[in-house]
């Protein structure tokens, strides 16, 4: 049996305490992954995009993609799998290549005017991926809901307005990368 990522990587030893994380966020950019979950057909064409619904620190609700920190000593691939399983459940069955390549790099800043990607807590650098998932997805952890929408719906003003912090722009970039921007 193949060991699970969480069995290989002891996240307790590589995680920062709340105070340590706060201090690091004041001094260093933090490395993240952003994963746009997609369903594909038998030809590999994207048929739908998964968007999570999350409660934001200010109390608002926002649609978002899978996102999270890369831990010290953790491979990017393992971080992708860990966050997809955390946000979409253990039966999501992500198809992450052995050596994943991001479609873009996104810089989030506390000041929303710097890049248009905004995280009020920190300066973060996120490697962004489009990840096909083949299994049953159930929102978990901090996610309140998960919807699967067509590429046209994901790019629509309705869904773009439901995303904050530049997430709508990131989804449009993912769609463009897949040749699907309407």
- The reported pTM is 0.86
Render each residue's pLDDT in the chain as its tens digit; 182 residues: 555 555 555 555 556 788 887 776 677 899 999 999 999 999 999 999 999 999 877 788 999 999 999 999 999 999 999 999 999 999 999 999 999 999 999 999 999 999 999 999 899 999 999 999 999 999 986 889 999 999 999 999 999 999 999 999 999 999 999 999 86
Beta carbons within 10 angstroms of residue 34's beta carbon: 30
The secondary structure element, H or E, covering residue 78 is helix 76-88
Domain-wise residue ranges, the chain: 5-177
> pLDDT at position 28, please?
84
How far is 171 from 168, CA to CA, in rounded Å? Answer: 5
Buried b (16+ CB within 10 A) or exposed e, 61-96: ebbbbbbbbbbeebebbbbbbbbbbbbbbeebebeb
> pLDDT at position 153, please?
96
CATH 3.90.79.10 correct for 5-177: yes
Is there a contact between 141 and 86 (Cβ–Cβ < 8 Å)? yes
> pLDDT at position 25, please?
66
**Residue labelled with tokens 């807590």:** 121
């Amino acid at each position: 049996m193949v060991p699970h990522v969480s069995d290989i990587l002891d996240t307790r030893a590589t995680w920062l305490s709340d105070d340590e994380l706060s201090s690091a966020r004041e001094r260093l950019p933090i490395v993240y992954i952003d994963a746009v979950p997609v369903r594909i057909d038998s030809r590999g064409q994207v048929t739908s995009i998964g968007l999570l619904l999350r409660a934001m620190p200010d109390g608002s609700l926002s649609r978002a993609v899978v996102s999270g920190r890369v831990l010290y000593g953790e491979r990017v691939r393992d971080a992708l799998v860990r966050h997809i399983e955390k946000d979409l459940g253990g039966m999501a069955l992500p198809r992450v290549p052995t050596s994943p390549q991001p479609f873009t790099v996104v810089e989030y800043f506390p000041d929303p005017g710097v890049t248009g990607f905004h995280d009020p807590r920190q300066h973060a650098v996120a490697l962004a991926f489009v990840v096909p998932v083949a299994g049953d997805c159930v929102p978990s952890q901090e996610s309140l809901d998960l919807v699967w929408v067509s590429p046209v719906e994901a790019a629509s003003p309705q869904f773009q307005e439901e995303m904050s912090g530049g997430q709508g722009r990131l989804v449009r970039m993912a769609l463009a990368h897949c040749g699907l921007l309407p």
